Amino acid sequence: MKTKTKRILFTLSAILLVLLFVQIYYNDVMSRSWEKERAAVQAARQYGGLGKVEKTYRSVWDENSNYWVASGLDTKGENIMVWVKFTKDGVPAGGDFVHAESLKDGMSEKQMSSLISSQFPEVSMLRLVPGMYENEYVWQLHFRDEGKTGYRFFRFADGEPIGEDIILPNP
């Protein structure tokens, strides 16, 4: 073989090897998160009546507020969201700690996003996830406003703000 061909084959082999190691590393890092997500979906199906899963969210506010939330369709084809509480050991807390809500009785992500955009046009939404705050099911908004970053909570049932904004210190 010519030297140029050998060099090209060696370079391609090295690139493929690096990509393989990156993929193996990524799978190793993400496997624990994927396991927890699968456990949450299983608990949501078993205890919350979830049928088809459309989206999952992870929400951690404090050590007593560690939830995976799954949205999708129940067994009747209605849109629901199911909150699955996790223990400090990273496993679902069980049937008593799974809560399902019909989207007829609450705000969808799209509705909440529209409400926030119309009521707070100056706010830049960084992330919007369902969660638990002060013993209420909420939408948790991570936002940026006038150079400040913070959190604002909205009641899942009606989209009303709960409490005061929590502003993070600037670095």
Listed in sequence order, the residues at least 6 apart from 158 whose beta carbon sits closer than 8 Å to its beta carbon are: 106, 107
Q: Using a CB cutoff of 8 Å and minimum separation of 24, what contacts does 28-31 make? A: none
pLDDT of residue 15: 95
- Amino acid 90: pLDDT: 83
- pLDDT reading at 1 higher than 80: no
pLDDT at 94: 83
pTM metric for this prediction? 0.83
Q: Is the pLDDT of residue 171 over 70?
A: no
Cβ atoms of 115 and 159 within 8 Å: the answer is yes
Whether 34 has a pLDDT exceeding 90, the answer reads no
Residue 106, pLDDT > 80, answer: yes
Residue 80 pLDDT greater than 80, yes or no:
yes
Q: Tell me: pLDDT of 99 over 80.
A: yes
Domains of the chain in sequence order? 3-98 (no CATH), 109-167 (3.10.450)
